[in-house]
Each structure stands twice: as structure tokens, then as C-alpha cells.
Amino acid sequence: MLLHYVTALEVRIPLTRHRISTRLLARLTAPALALSLVPFARAVTVAPDDVIAPSQSMAKTAMELVEKLETRHYSKREFDDALSSELLDNYLDSLDPTRSFLYADDVARFESKRYQLDDEFSNGNLSTGFDIFNLYQNRLEARLENLVEELPALIASMDFSVQESLSLEPEKQGWPLDEKEADERWRKSIKNSVLSLKIAGKEDDEISPVLLKRYSNQLKRIEQYNAQDVFQVYANALSELYDPHTNYLSPRTSENFNINMSLSLEGIGAVLQLEDEYTKVARIVTAGPADKQGELQPSDRILAVAQGEDGTFEDVLGWRLDEVVQLIRGPKGTTVRLEVIPAKAATPDERKIITIVRNKVKLEEQSAQKEIIEIPRGDENLRLGVIDIPTFYIDFEGMRRGEPDFKSTTRDVKRLLDELIAEDVDGVIIDLRNNGGGSLQEANDLTGLFIEYGPTVQIRHSSRKVFRDGKRLRTPYYDGPLAVLINRLSASASEIFAGAIQDYQRGIVVGSQSFGKGTVQTLIPLPEGQLKLTESKFYRISGDSTQHRGVIPDVAFPDQYDSEEIGESTLKHALDWDQITPVRHRKYHDIPSLVPYLTDLYEDRARNNPDFVYLEDSLALAEEARTAVSLPLNQEARKALREERKAKSLAIENKRRMAKGLAPLDDFLDSEDQLAAADVPAEGDSGQSGSGQEGVDGASIGSDAVSESDESEEEVDVLLVEAGNILVDAVAARSEMLASNQR
């Protein structure tokens, strides 16, 4: 269970997942379901036996839920007519985001309730929400029943030589005016599903069975929904208007949540969420089986799951999140195979099979680890200690029992720091990339290893009282050169630590903008289920919130993750960034005065670093794909689009390879062995590349750095090495500044 002041990316992820899972029925309507040539939408009359109705207990739960939202949520927002209007729109969007089932006159029929839902809900009257759902459910069932019946003939009649396209912005479409307009949307969406399977390599006789099974399963699921499911959808259409981390959990969802707070996949180590009809990877758990296997990445979308080395793939498009989780979970040592659309796929038609052996993540594998890297500078190599912190952990039970050697982040880092100091390193890098957070206590204690004393975080409660925490006693601390490396997946406790180091100007923060999760949730029991409610907000000692904006690095690297897909700012109704009164604190150095100089040196290196150029080019290509507003439904045009994007990706890769003195590829190779065989110097090239040339002040660029803890030929972590270069630059610049002042 989430403790009041425990922070983690998992706090965001499960809440987002719960938020989206309440839209499960909507996810059945996403583009892959889509539509047929035949008129599926019959006039719907709801038979009394088919009506799902709320219970008296739900009425009591609704009243108490509203009371808690109004009095205890951080925003202090009243459930008034304005919010009532938003509730109607959000509920309709939750059920039918692609505007595929309900018609304009249906929406108009409920328009009279727009400013009455606040009064109804507050008084336990849930009739409007259930009326809307019953109409929606019957329309959906009618569509799916007819689709299952007509699908083989429909697929056989499709003409893929016609020049037409599918909109990728269904949310911008208005409600269909009539059955004919709705049927046309369905027809194009089904055609897109068929075309995607064809281009992905499915034979014509395989496509119909795949889709028939998919839609039959979805029909079976929608028929199993009960009043608790409907109430959860309706209640969350309201709660998520307060913020995306405030959610109503039905009794069934609460039980599952309490068993496994993060809904992470036991067995492979991945955190999932639903996006449209897809199960999407939100985060890879450090040191877990998926992380070690290395192929599964954040934002990959899972299409199908198979058991063992040769089991049959089960299509999971449109499934409930908990059902997908259950399918992927399994005993240690067993194998699961995932069919995914890679996050960096050139088109949605690309597929990849990933095989992972299930295992458990061991605590010691998530512990902080150290290494030493060498950064050439002039005629010498400077040695920098790197401490990688995957999460902010603490053995609470061991601490409560008074065990003298209980495990914690701060204890481990203190030991590693002492070892690095004994090895006479020239500086230290704290690597917080992909660290989703954890214990707030550990974030505070860890900061205390690098400052003499002082506050580290401010916590503002919904009562508007501000609590401060930090290091209260003056004790010895590491006062040597320090850098903190972050990325988009650095969240919560990571942001508190990085923000404190930045505010104290104790070290330089490098990397990309962090996640921006700056809120705290608490669980509140209700007559039925629980309410997960945002009750507090984190602020830095500078007074800046970490919410929404996250931590902005002093020197910014290209972001490896799409900031339009990952991060607090991508979530609807996320609380805004704001400020409160700062806390007086010491400033150890004048970092801001160094930042322009350090940035110039970094940019000079990056321009000549093939790996940085590759990152920039890849981000530009991903942005191009992300901003596409339609997909061609003509087979030749679709293949041409895929080949065009593959060619661009290949050109970007070969640009990097040639700059590093490696032979270019004729095509992307599926086998890692084949790729390794191609990693040889280009003909007539010695293998020395621009990345090995000397940069400003003799600092090497990227690939010349050597890790003492890794003597293999593994690819260099270019971002870590550049963080080292920047730290060395900062040390040199500060020394020069001090010498100048003394003169």
C-alpha cells in the first residue's frame, strides 16, 4: 500500500493505469475494432432484463466520494455546474473516444443533464450515468455481434487499391450524424486492421480468424460487465477531472491493487498501462528480466502473448489490463513471448517478437552500484566515480526491528562513496536515469551525504500547511565535484534529490527534463471500494514545484523518450506547476555562471559526436511520425510509407556508423550476430572516428572513455560519458576562476 510520503513513478503509473482501465469499454472501440461496409448500427431499445442499475451502496459511495473530493483534494475544487458540464463530456469521451457508437442525437438527448449531474451525483442519484452506459453497451454489442457475423465476407470485399485514408485523430471528429456516417468510420478502421496484419506478414487466410477471435473475445467481455464496472467508469470520469492520480477503485480493483500496488508484471519486470486498445509498456523495472534481456522498451505496445518457446500467440488487443498482466505472469524460469509494435517503429505495421524468461527482481540487483570511468583531459585521464541508483529503497521492517545493518539507499551509497574517495576519484556522478522514485526519507537522507545541513523538500498539504524535511544536524559530507544525471523517467524522489542538489548549487544537473510527478496520494476507504486521492504536493526549497515541469537540467541532452508520450505533462487534468515561498538555504557554488560556458563546450562536442547526432536525428524522425494525422489505406501507398520511413531510419544509422568508421548496412539486420559481424571498420578506414578526436581542452568525445569495471567491447554509454566530460569541464572552469580571483 502506498504510504503517505512514499514517492515513486509506480505511484503515477498504477494511477494512470487505473484511470485508463476505467475507460476499458472505450478501449474496445478504438481504431483496430473499427467498422464494416454493412450497416451494423441498428436502432437500439434496451430490454428491462438488460438494464444495469446502481445499488443503494453505490449511491452512498457516490455521496461520500464527492464529499472527500471537495474537502480533501489538494485543488479544493467544488463540484459545481462547471464541473458537471466537464463530467458529461469526459464520461462520453471515456465510453466512446473514437465517436463510433453514439450519435449526435444521443448526445443531444442527454444535453439537458449537462448542469444537473453535480446535484444528482452528490445526492447519490446515478441514473444518468447508467442510462448513458446502457445505451452505449447495447450499441456496442449490436456492432460486435454483426461484425463477427459479417467479418469474413467484409474482408473478402475489401479493395486495397482505392486511394483513401484513416484519420489518426478520432478525438477531433464530431459525433456521427447518422448510421451511415458511423458505418463509414467502422469500415475504414477495420480495413486498417486488415491492412496492418497483411503488411505485418499475415497470410490472407489467417487474418479473418485473428480478427474474429479478437472481436468475439471483446464481445464476451462487454457482456460480462456489471454495475460495479459501470460505477467505476462513471466515478472516475469525475475523479480524474481533479487530477489524473485521483481515482475510484472498485472492490475488485482495490483487491488487485492491494495485492500488487504497481500492477507491474510479476515475472518479467515491466510496468504497463492501457492506451486506446493497446497494452503499452510504461516502464522497465531496473534489474528485472525484461531489463536484462534488453529488447522490451518503454512505449512498446503489446499485441499478443504466447507461453513457452512454441506456444500459440493470444491476441490481447482490447483486453483488460489485469487480464494481460495475468497472462504474462508466471513461475520463475518459464518463458513468455511478446509480440509488440516497437516504440520506434517506422509505421504501426511493424512487429517484433521478444522472448523473456520470467524471474524475480532481487533486492541486491536493485541496489546502488558503482564504477569508475576515465575521461581523457590533455595528457592525463581523470577518474570519475559513478554511482547508479535504480530506485530509492529502504528495508522498513529491518529498520523497525532495530537491525544494525538494515538495507537502504543512503547506507549503500555512503559505503560506495567512501570506497570511491579511498580510490582517489576526481569527482562523482550520481546516475538517476530511469529511477522512478521510492522512499522520500531516502531522498532526504541521500541529499544529506552531499550538503552540510539544511532542508531538502517542502510538502504542502491540501490544508495549505507546509511541512519541511531535510538534514537537521551538521555532519561531514562529500564536498568534491558532483554531477547528477537524469532523464524523462527520473521521477518523484529522484526529482526531489536532483532539485535539492540544483537549488543548493552543490553540483551540476545534466540530462533531460525529468518526469514531473510532484504529488502525493493517500487511500481513503469508502462504503464500496477506495478513493485514491491527491492530498499533498511537493515543492523544492527554491519554492518551485516539481509537479508537471519536473527538474530542468543545467545542461540539456537530447531526450531518448518522447516527451509527448511520457511524463506528467502528457496526462489530462494534471495539476499545474506553481511556486510557494522559498526556504533560506546555502549556495555552495555559483553554478549558473558556469552553465553558458559548459553548454557551449558540450554543444561543440555533440556536433562532432556521431552518437549525439544519431539521437537528434532519431528524435526528429520520431516527431515526424508522431505528427502524422492520417494513414493511407491503399496497400501500395502504405508499403511505400513504411519503406520510406525504414529508409530514413537506415540512413540515420549508417550516418552514425560511417562517422564511427564502421561499415554501412544495406538493410536492418534481425540477428544480433549479423549486426556484430557488420561492426567492422569501413574499407580503407583505420577504425578511428571523429568521436575519438580531442575536444576543447583535450577532453575526449564520447567513445574514448574507458570503464574500469567493464573490460568488454560493449557499446559506450555516450550520455554518461558526456556527463563526465561536463563535470571535468566544470572542475577546470572553477579552478580557472579561483586562480583568476587570486591573481
Q: Residue 566 to residues 383, 489, 571, 598, 659: CA-CA distances in angstroms?
A: 34, 8, 9, 28, 31
φ/ψ bin of 24: left (φ > 0), alpha (ψ from -120 to 50), beta (otherwise): alpha
- Please count the residues of the chain: 743
Q: For helices 127-156 and 227-239, what crossing angle results, to 10°?
A: 110
Half-sphere exposure of 615 (CA within 13 A, CB side): 16
| Residue in the block written with cell 571535468 | 728
Q: How many whole angstroms separate alpha carbon 669 and alpha carbon 741? A: 57
DSSP code per residue over 144-161: HHHHHHHHHHHHHT--TT
- What lies within 8 Å, CB to CB, of 317 at 6+ separation is 32, 214, 277, 278, 303, 304
Q: Using only C-alpha atoms, what is the Rg of the chain? A: 27
Half-sphere exposure of 341 (CA within 13 A, CB side): 20
Q: For helices 635-659 and 610-626, what crossing angle results, to 10°?
A: 160
Active-site residue 660, yes or no? Answer: no
Q: How many whole angstroms separate alpha carbon 699 and alpha carbon 598? A: 12
For residues 511 and 563, the answer to whether their CB atoms sit within 8 Å is no
Q: How many whole angstroms separate alpha carbon 181 and alpha carbon 175? A: 9
Q: Of these residues, 299, 492, 512, 703, which one is catalytic? A: 492
| Residue in the block written with cell 554511482 | 387
Q: How many whole angstroms separate alpha carbon 196 and alpha carbon 202? A: 9
DSSP state of 161: T
DSSP code per residue over 11-32: HHHHHHHHHHHTTHHHHTTSTT
- Residue 165 β-bridge partners: 632
User: Which among 485, 538, 546, 550 has a CA at the least distance from the CA of 511?
Assistant: 485
Active-site residue 503, yes or no? Answer: yes
The per-type count for the chain, helices as H runs and strands as E runs, is 22, 22
Active-site residue 492, yes or no? Answer: yes
Angle at 704 between CA 699 and CA 707, to 5 degrees: 110
Pairing of strands 630-632, 706-707: unpaired
Q: Of these residues, 188, 517, 532, 537, which one is catalytic? A: 517
User: Which among 231, 239, 316, 315 has a CA at the least distance from the CA of 274?
Assistant: 316
- What lies within 8 Å, CB to CB, of 357 at 6+ separation is 289, 293, 333, 334, 335
User: Which among 655, 582, 586 has a CA at the least distance from the CA of 618?
Assistant: 655
SS3 356: strand
DSSP state of 627: T
Q: Of these residues, 291, 300, 503, 544, which one is catalytic? A: 503
| Catalytically active residues, by annotation | 492, 503, 517
